Amino acid sequence: MEVKRRTARNLVAKLSSVSEQTRTEALCELRLISKHDPESQPLIADAGVVPYLSETLYGSSPTIQENAASTLLNLSITSRASLMSTRGFLDALSHALINSPSPSIESGQFGGPRCGSCFGGVDRQGCEDGDRGRRHDGAGADCGV
């Protein structure tokens, strides 16, 4: 487990590199690890990746933006609290869904009903019909963009 923790920390540290290639490679690796190794998801979140990924959602590169969005989606499975407590995450997510240069993000890769996994208590039943989902507390939650 310590090896996974160290790997997560090293990859997250690479996200602050001045080299775009280094950042992209680290981001792609984080996406794959978060997808194929559920045990690593909380370790990646604990390593402080969410602010970096949130900032990346504002980027103009579709590939980088897709990798960041997919990594966030994977992390939302086990580390929802970490995502929701990160300052600026919801603004970045909203920006990516509305202004995405990538059609896969706005058409369902990360948006729409799947976005509900980031928010937890959203009842996604109505999302498939294009309706508004309802949180368990009764507040509205828009399921799609």
pLDDT the model gives residue 19: 95
What are the extents of the domains in the chain?
Answer: 2-110
Q: Which fold has domain 2-110?
A: Leucine-rich Repeat Variant (1.25.10)
Question: If you average pLDDT over residues 137-142, what whole number do you get?
Answer: 38
pLDDT for the residue 89:
83
Residue 123 binned pLDDT confidence (cut-offs 50, 70, 90): very low
pLDDT band at 121, cuts 50/70/90? Answer: very low
> What pLDDT digit, counting tens, does each position of 21-34 carry?
999 999 999 999 99
d(CA 145, CA 107): 9
Give me the pLDDT at residue 104, please: 56
Task: Compute CA distances 138 → 58, 118, 128, 134, 141, whole Å.
Answer: 31, 18, 19, 6, 9
DSSP summary character for residue 73: H
Highest mean pLDDT among 23-27, 102-106, 114-118, 133-137: 23-27
**55 contacts 23 by C-beta, under 8 angstroms:** no
Structure tokens at 138: 């009764």
